[in-house]
Amino acid sequence: TGNGYVPCRGFAAGRYDAVKAAGLADPRFPFLDGYRTGSHLKYLHRLIDWCAAAGTELVLLDVPVTADLEARYAAAFAEYRGRLAEVEGDRGVTVLRVSRDDAGLTDAAFADVTHLNRDGAARLSDRVRAM
């Protein structure tokens, strides 16, 4: 779309950065209401095992999301971060945690509530490189 972000069908009409810049209410993404934080764990453990067998270090990045999304799903994010801490402690996987503030991310850095636009991705990449 000119800024490095190619939205999935359904996101195109609700670009978060544009909606917020216009002063409108944040777009709703009802598919997130059914999201369960533990659904990825069996695949994550497989990935950890595969990396260990291949002699490859796995580093996970806890990518920031919008403040609106974190506020709306505070309990889910607390559970998610707890699961990351368990994987980190139990499996010895490094988890890089970067907050929106640490990376200098504002609403304008997000193409939707979960994906960064080009500027946001560049800011996050710069912060991760500095870690």
For 4-118, where are the E strands, in sequence order?
59-62, 94-97
Burial class (CB in 10 A: 0-12, 13-18, 19+), 15: buried
Q: Give this prediction's pTM.
A: 0.71
Residue 5 above 60 pLDDT?
A: no
For the chain, where are the E strands, in sequence order?
59-62, 94-97
The whole-number pLDDT of residue 76 equals 83
The pLDDT tens digits for 44-95 are 899 999 999 999 999 999 988 888 888 888 888 888 889 889 999 999 999 9
Q: What are the distances in angstroms from CA 76 to CA 5, 32, 33, 115?
A: 26, 10, 10, 18
The whole-number pLDDT of residue 36 equals 67
The whole-number pLDDT of residue 18 equals 67
Cβ neighbours, 10 Å, residue 17:
21
